[in-house]
């Protein structure tokens, strides 16, 4: 095992951090910390109708502080940092393939089965569509 992908969203995910750290120490692997910032689509009112305008997608670059904060947990270890824009689950899967990661370590935030069915979740989508192994920490 050479590279571990650790997607982060800024929430408390100590379980996945601990697991990624443990694996990296055991296999002398690099941890790739990834934050995906989802695009914001401008919304406009025209003729009393709500319309979504998407000629260019506007994004905010708030991923860097999230990645920097997460990297503090892995001080002294081999760490790479990456921020991307797009649909979180799609980008996580793409990065895992582009960077040839050996495993994706993700945290689930305890959604109920009904809520997960109705809303879906990034972890659920990655687990079902990734070509790389996914370790889900609860």
Q: For the whole model, what pTM was predicted?
A: 0.79
pLDDT in tens, 15-40: 899 999 999 999 999 999 999 887 66
Find out whether 34 and 95 touch, Cβ atoms under 8 Å: yes
pLDDT at position 115 over 80: no
* Residue indicated by tokens 């370590």: 105
CB atoms within 10 A of CB 116: 14
Q: Give 3-state DSSP helix, strand, coil % of the chain, rounded to 5.
A: 40, 30, 35
The residue that leads in pLDDT, 117 or 81, is 81
Average pLDDT, the chain: 81
Please tell me what DSSP assigns to residue 100. Answer: T
Domain that holds residue 33: 3-137
> In degrees rounded to 5, what are phi and psi of residue 120?
75, 175
CATH number at residue 89: 3.40.50.620
Find out whether 41 and 51 touch, Cβ atoms under 8 Å: no
**For the chain, how many structural domains are there in total?**
1
The residue that leads in pLDDT, 52 or 40, is 40
Percent of the chain with pLDDT over 90: 52
Collect all residues with Cβ–Cβ distance below 8 Å to 118 and sequence separation of at least 6. none
CB atoms within 10 A of CB 36: 23
Least confident of 36-40, 59-63, 71-75: 59-63
Residue 60 pLDDT = 47
């Amino acid at each position: 095992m050479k590279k571990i992908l650790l997607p982060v969203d800024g929430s408390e995910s100590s379980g996945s951090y601990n697991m990624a750290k443990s694996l990296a120490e055991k296999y002398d692997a690099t941890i790739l910390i990834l934050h995906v910032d989802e695009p914001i689509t401008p919304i406009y009112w025209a003729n009393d109708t709500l319309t979504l305008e998407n000629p260019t997608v506007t994004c905010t670059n708030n991923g860097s502080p999230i990645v920097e904060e997460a990297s503090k947990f892995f001080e002294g270890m081999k760490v790479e940092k990456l921020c991307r824009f797009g649909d979180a689950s799609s980008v996580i899967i793409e990065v895992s393939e582009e960077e040839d990661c050996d495993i994706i370590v993700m945290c689930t935030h305890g959604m109920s089965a009904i809520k997960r069915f109705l809303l879906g979740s990034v972890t659920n989508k990655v687990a079902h569509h990734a070509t790389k192994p996914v370790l889900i920490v609860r």
